[in-house]
Amino acid sequence: MDYRNQTLVTEFFFMGLTNHFQYQVVLFVIFLLVYFATLLGNVGMITLIWMDPRLHTPMYFFLGHLSFVDICSSSVIGPKMLTDIFVEKKVISFLGCAAQLWCFVQFVVTECFLLASMAYDRYMALCKPLLYTLIMSQRICVQLVLGPYAIGLMIAMTHTTLAFRLLYCGPQIINHFFCDVLPVSSLACADIYVNQIVLFILAGGVRVVSGVTILVSYIYIIIAILRIHSAEGRHNAFSTCSSHLAAVSILYGTLFFIYVCPCSSFSLDINKVVSVFYTAVIPMLNPLIYSLRNREVKDSFRRTFEKKKFLMSK
């Protein structure tokens, strides 16, 4: 097809979630509260880990980076989504869309592999407790954090390059509320078969590699827990992993539905609803999961609160 007489796209328009004013008001209030709760919870978690020396362990080193990634991923989508709710033309520039897609993929992939690093850390803590401090040295912990960021960077660069090397000559309306890989690529005036194959391979690869790491780690963890004779010991051992297991189940379930399950490609509208969950809700849930189900975090919060209350009463 000859595109020389076509007008190239320089900006995109989001379709958004709804055009009904009453729903827009409700969504704005909900998403605003969720975004503030996300910032408060994750910043609070990072601050708590930084202030309490008892939390200066590999587990909380990873958790601090998980909170940082959650802040970044929600901030890539949240503010733009909030400002667009009441705007008739939800516009984003071509380069702005590319930047949003890059950052979104970067932080989602990074979070997947950070969860894998955390699973490996729990495996070492429960299965090799005598060697834990020796193996999980500061150098190893830094490598297990830098690795997810590096993998996220490479995959984000690949998806963004493939998506924005295509020719876009209209339509300009993205059936989504942010720039995601499939909704953007589907607007291209070119064959996107290669993009779809690469998306399926990389998305599946991320889930398989990180998922297998988590699965194998938990198989060994469960075996180690079952070898503990006392019920209290088994409960204490499992409680150190339950928060991480809950976070993994929620994130991987939603991402599998969108990027791996073949049936999901037939309905962008359904994907939009599911996308709300992992772009807005999951970053808010992670600090709640780790604070409500983790005794060390609750004890640290209580000590910090009591210390602050004591200083204020002097």
The whole-number average pLDDT for the span 155-169 is: 92
N- to C-terminal Cα separation, the chain: 78
Which pLDDT band, with edges at 50, 70 and 90, does 264 fall under? Answer: very low
- Tell me the per-residue pLDDT of 92-143, one tens digit each, with 9 for 90 and over: 999 999 999 999 999 999 999 999 999 999 999 888 888 898 999 999 999 9
Mean pLDDT, to the nearest integer, of 75-102? 92
Closest CA to 148 of 203, 103, 110: 110
Peptide bond into 171 cis (omega under 30): yes
Q: What pLDDT score does 237 carry? A: 72
* Confidence band for 272, pLDDT divided at 50, 70 and 90: confident
pLDDT at 211: 87
Across residues 53-69, what is the average pLDDT? Answer: 91
The arithmetic mean of pLDDT across residues 53-60, rounded, is 87
Domain boundaries, the chain: 11-313
Fold of 11-313: Rhopdopsin 7-helix transmembrane proteins (1.20.1070)
- Of 130-134, 203-207, 247-251, 288-292, the range with the lowest mean pLDDT is 288-292
For 15-33, what is the mean pLDDT?
A: 89
Angstrom distance (rounded) from CA 242 to CA 239 = 5
Do 251 and 211 form a contact (C-beta atoms < 8 A)? Answer: no
75-84, 162-171, 191-200, 304-313, range with the lowest pLDDT: 304-313
Higher pLDDT, 234 or 102: 102
Residues paired with 93 in a beta bridge: 11
Positive or negative: CA dihedral 38, 39, 45, 49: positive
pLDDT at position 143, please?
96
pLDDT at residue number 265: 44
% of the chain residues with pLDDT over 90: 38
pLDDT of residue 298: 65
Please state, in angstroms and rounded to a whole number, the distance separating the CA atoms of residues 41 and 68.
11
